[in-house]
Amino acid sequence: MDEVGIADITGFDWAELLETAQTTGVAFGLKLLAALVIFYVGRMVARMLQKGLRKMLQTQAVDKILETFVCNLAYWAIMIFVIIAAINQVGVQTTSLIAVMGAAGLAVGLALQGSLSNFAAGVLIVIFRPYRVGDWVEAAGISGSVEQVQILTTMLKTGDNKQIIVPNSQIMNSIITNYSANDTRRIDMIVGVSYSDDLDKVRKTLEELVASDERILKDPACTIAVSELADSSVNFVVRPWASTADYWSVKFDLTEAVKKRFDKEGISFPFPQQDVHLYKQS
């Protein structure tokens, strides 16, 4: 019997198949390598551009919130184009892929309406800037110092050093109180004295206490007046103005100074009183 090759027995040229597989594998490997190079180089370029944009915004004294938001948005916008270019290099038709991604994006968008509302709220926060990094605010029932505004959330640090992450949509849908927005704040105090005390003496003593504290501003002037004839006391309102940074220290120190000075001057702080009348029946 004549010697017959494998191709003659099976009717299939395995050598040609192996050569084709090798050629295809090498070509695909080169494409995959090129796609990986595009991805890593593109990511490197995106990071470099992000750092350059951040430095440029810092030299322009742009608000920290706007700086972070713009840099992150620019980075991910570049990365989307890099990923599409890398996929196209492998041989995947990006036109149909973009259509599929669009349809999937619509479905995901409907499923993630809350996240999209947080994103939209984050854009509004960046544009209108109701607060800045470092401001002490009260929003969505939370009080704290603004640490960072991200695309979907805002990070607050409370007075007892707890970090709280609040969705941006909840902040924009609530009343925002920014205690750091203005340079000065008014301190509201109520001081009650006895009905038997000399009101002129009380007023003069309060004026001296306010004048002796250099942190209290002369303009606007401090308001000291009788505000109420209460059940057990005559109430004075004391409303000095101070810088926002000195607000709490001035309030605490002035409260302590009032107590010590009133004790020295013999001005009393009345306790709540109630008269009880007893009727005896035979």
Instruction: Work out whether the CA dihedral 142, 145, 148, 149 comes out positive or negative.
Output: positive
Confirm whether 166 is domain-assigned. yes
Token pair of 242 as six digits: 């101070």
Q: Which domain holds residue 55?
A: 15-111
Boundary residue ending a domain (148, 178, 208): 178
Confirm whether 78 is domain-assigned. yes
What is this structure's pTM?
Answer: 0.62
CATH number of the structural domain spanning residue 151? 2.30.30.60
103 and 162, same domain (yes or no): no
Confirm whether 257 is domain-assigned. yes
Tell me the per-residue pLDDT of 223-235, one tens digit each, with 9 for 90 and over: 999 999 998 899 9
Count how many domains the chain has: 3
Tell me the per-residue pLDDT of 127-174, one tens digit each, with 9 for 90 and over: 888 998 899 999 999 999 999 888 789 999 999 999 999 999 999 999
204 and 260, same domain (yes or no): yes
Q: What is the pLDDT of residue 105?
A: 64
Beta carbons of 139 and 151 less than 8 angstroms apart:
no
Task: For 114-156, give the secondary structure using H, E and C.
Answer: HHHHHHHHHHHHHHHCCCCCCCEEEECCEEEEEEEECCCEEEE
Confirm whether 279 is domain-assigned. no
Report how far residue 32's alpha carbon sits from residue 48's, in angstroms, rounded to the nearest whole number. 24
Q: Point out which residues pair with 149 in neighbouring strands.
A: 154
User: Taking the CA of residue 102 as centre, how many other CA atoms within 13 Å lie in the half-sphere pointing to its CB?
Assistant: 6
> From the centroid of its chain, how far is CA 43?
27
